[in-house]
Amino acid sequence: MRLILILPIAYLLSTLMPTPTVEGQPAGLPTLKETFKSDFIIGAELGNTELTGEDPSPRELTASQFNSISPGNLLKWGPFNPRPGEFNHGPADAYVEFGTSHHMYVVGHVLFWHNQTPDWVFEDESGKQVSRDQLLDRMRERVRHVAQRYGNRINAWDVVNESIMDNGKLRDSPWTRIIGDDYIEQAFRIANEELPPDVELIYNDYSMTGRLKREAVVKMIQDLKQKGLRIDGVGMQGHWALGGPSIESIEESILAYSAAGVEVHITELDIDVLPRKAGMWGADIRKKLEQDPAMDPYQAGLPEAVQKQLAQRYADIFTCFLKHHDKIKRVTFWGVSDRYSWLNNWPIKGRTNHPLLLDRQGQPKPAFYAVIDASKRYHLQNTAQDPDSQ
């Protein structure tokens, strides 16, 4: 009871503390990391461009607003280790250094995925497909390499990305064709054995609010646990839209994953405000569409009515996250500001999208204030309902 009372007080006090300022931002702007510090970790994806580019704003905004980072591409197998024995350590080292020097929760993304994995991983020197054992050895070498180089300076790894289809079936890929149906189990076995015990192990996927996928992921978690393998979290990629998924399905999924005995990470949150054609939901990055001006209506800025819709959508989503903050470890936005969002280039290249809380100039949008207000409302209500507080 005492803790229940202390948390809202700590929260209220924290909102009075001065916040680091970023040039050009409103004075006294609240920060997301202070706002949600008693609820969950709050992160942003930081790619190589944001880390090393001339524009300092993504680094400054990340340091001032967030207490966790996720890498864009720089730790994926292809960008990190494009050819046998050849490693691009530079961007990954800079990423880990940025996170640790700012005392952040640093995410590793991703050990094994069907995309952005070079062909050589699956072939021997003569181009012939490797055997199951050879591929398992290569997987182990990769995990051992990142474990030796980064250890627990990377706090959590997405071990497997997107290996269960929306219909609940295992995705057909070189991983399953060479290793077999126990590919996810083998990936977690290797991660269990090679990574330090305090590094959290996560299964990450899109469309995690769909019933069939949810049931399959819950079963996978149970199977891994039954085999004595550790899985600490599931990552629900939040590549969502103004109209869906429903808050009910988000809530139901958070409850289902939590009941299966893992922490929930909302890993890739953004709300697409641009039109989409049927069948373009989720985040299958191989799907691409042709350019079409009618599909890019907000080049001059987001109209006020849509700004409001976006703010309301974020408020509803965060109200749900706050209600289940005890089950949610982390909420990560896929990008720091609209300027750096991948949704400017997917599923159609070169559009102007507005999916995040900070606009193209890094300024807070109505959606930013909407999530801050959702938190104030939630904490004030909680204080009022606490019998000890009367």
For residue 34, indicate whether it is catalytic: no
**Closest separation between CB of residue 206 and ligand GLA, Å?**
6
Using Cβ positions, the residue closest to ligand GLA within the complex turns out to be: 342
**What is the contact mask toward ligand GLA in residues 133 to 172, using x (rule: CB under 6 A)?**
----------------------------x-----------
Helix or strand or coil: residue 297?
Answer: coil
**Closest separation between CB of residue 9 and ligand GLA, Å?**
38
Q: How many residues bind ligand GLA (CB under 6 A)?
A: 8
Say how far apart CA 7 and CA 149 lie, in whole Å.
37
Q: Is residue 173 a contact point for ligand GLA (CB under 6 A)?
A: no
Q: Is residue 342 a contact point for ligand GLA (CB under 6 A)?
A: yes
Q: Is residue 283 a contact point for ligand GLA (CB under 6 A)?
A: yes
Q: Is residue 237 a contact point for ligand GLA (CB under 6 A)?
A: yes
Name the residue with tokens 């077999």. Answer: 180
Among 34, 268, 270, 272, interactor with ligand GLA by CB under 6 A:
268
**Closest separation between CB of residue 174 and ligand GLA, Å?**
17
For residue 268, indicate whether it is catalytic: yes
**Residue 162 in tokens:** 């997107």
Q: Which is nearer to ligand GLA, 109 or 313 (CB)?
A: 109
Q: Which is nearer to ligand GLA, 53 or 261 (CB)?
A: 53
DSSP string, 317-336: HHHHHHHTTTTEEEEEESSS
Residues 216-235 that bind ligand GLA (CB under 6 A): none
Alpha helices in the chain (DSSP H): 2-16, 32-35, 48-52, 57-65, 77-80, 89-101, 132-150, 174-178, 183-194, 211-226, 247-259, 304-323, 366-385
Q: Which residues pair with 204 in a beta bridge?
A: 161, 235
Spot the catalytic one: 34, 162, 200, 263: 162
In our burial notation (b when 16+ CB lie closer than 10 A, e otherwise), range 268-303 reads bbbbbbbeeeeebbbbbeeeeeeeeeeebeeeeebe
**Closest separation between CB of residue 237 and ligand GLA, Å?**
5
Q: Which is nearer to ligand GLA, 11 or 77 (CB)?
A: 77
Cβ–Cβ < 8 Å for 242, 314:
no
Say how far apart CA 177 and CA 231 lie, in whole Å.
24
Spot the catalytic one: 34, 45, 194, 268: 268
Say how far apart CA 32 and CA 54 lie, in whole Å.
25
Among 9, 259, 285, 380, interactor with ligand GLA by CB under 6 A:
285
Tell which residue, 106, 22, 96, has the closest CA to residue 56: 22
**Closest separation between CB of residue 356 and ligand GLA, Å?**
13
- Residues annotated as part of the active site: 162, 268
The contact set with ligand GLA (CB under 6 A) reads 109, 161, 206, 237, 268, 283, 285, 342
